[in-house]
Structure 1
Amino acid sequence: YLASEPGGRHVRLRKKGKTASLTFKVGRGAHREEREVKLSPKQFAALWPGTAGRRLRKLRYEIPWRNLMIEIDVYRGKHSGLVVAEVEFPDLATCREFKPPRWFGREVTSQNRYSNVRLANE
């Protein structure tokens, strides 16, 4: 993370394969807005040092499920052993109607200690 504020505004830098992006996030819990900007390798390299001490290492698996995408994050490094499933919904109604598969563990959306920004800043 490049920056984060207590009010739930964050700026994240991410590299996934050969694709790099800068994401602006506003909000918390089940309702957040995100704006993403693609970056060139040179832009990413220039911004990367600004994330020192606020980085996460994880493997992400994507599982299509009932017209949605489940993202399974398997954390590495200092958070090794933590596994979290996340689903992003197209709208609030879909979120409210969602019934998780049986293999999901307990709900942690509202638990700040599992937020990526908090994990990155530990």
Structure 2
Amino acid sequence: MEIERKFLIPQLPEHLEQYPCRHIEQGYLCTNPVVRIRKQDDAYFLTYKSGGLMAREEYNLPLTAEGYEHLRPKADGLLITKKRYCIPFGTYTIELDIFEGELAPLILAEVEFPSEDEANSFTPPEWFTEDVTYSGKYHNSYMSHHGYHPEA
């Protein structure tokens, strides 16, 4: 079970270079249910996600580089690229996603939780702004087909 909250970030925090950074490329083979392929640095995954906003089932399966390259042209919509910084925050890790290409200049922060109670009681840092957890338009699977339109 994946339980996460998602927030818009209007401005990058200082000293990002001190945190681990992953380079991610991902595409969607299906969006209902979500079936995703992802290249994260030198690792490859096939992921299934059920419906839902804050809490949903998620299964990650290892994929070979060859399997990823075979499935990559079959992805529908945009191939999403982003840099993900992993920033410690108390007992949690903030996953700060800086989108590139057609989804730039979007910056989102995600925080995963062991329970819905913890997710609901979470107090975000001051540099987080709007909580978009319950807006499906910030799901990567949605943006892969509809893009990012801040004015919408």
Q: Same fold, TM exceeding 0.5?
A: yes
Q: Which has the higher contact order (CA 8 A, sep 6+)?
A: 2
Q: Does 1:56 align with 2:80?
A: yes
Q: Residue 49 of structure 1 aligns to a residue in which SS?
A: helix
Q: Does 1:71 align with 2:95?
A: yes
Contact 2:35 2:47 in 1 (8 A): yes
- Counterpart of 1:3? 30
- Counterpart of 2:46? 22
- Counterpart of 2:55? 31
Stretches (4+) displaced over 6 A: none
Q: Residue 103 of structure 1 aligns to a residue in which SS?
A: coil
CA offset digits 1:9-35 (Å, max 9, x no partner): 200100001100001001221111100
Q: Does 1:83 align with 2:110?
A: no
Q: Does 1:101 align with 2:125?
A: yes
Deviates more, 1:93-102 or 1:16-25: 93-102
Query: Which of 40, 59, 71 is the aligned partner of 1:47?
Result: 71
CA offset digits 1:37-67 (Å, max 9, x no partner): 0111111111111115332111111111111
Q: Residue 39 of structure 2 aligns to a residue in which SS?
A: strand
Contact 1:25 1:35 in 2 (8 A): yes
Identical residues among aligned pairs (%) = 35
* Superposition RMSD in Å: 1.2
Contact 1:55 1:121 in 2 (8 A): no
Structure 2, unaligned stretches of length 5 or more? 1-27, 147-152
Structure-2 separation of matches of 1:90 and 1:46? 34
Structure-1 separation of matches of 2:51 and 2:107? 23
Count the aligned residue pairs.
119
TM-score of the superposition, structure 2-length normalised? 0.74
Deviates more, 1:62-71 or 1:45-54: 45-54
Contact 2:30 2:76 in 1 (8 A): no
Q: Residue 58 of structure 1 aligns to a residue in which SS?
A: strand
Q: Residue 54 of structure 1 aligns to a residue in which SS?
A: strand
Deviates more, 1:10-19 or 1:60-69: 60-69
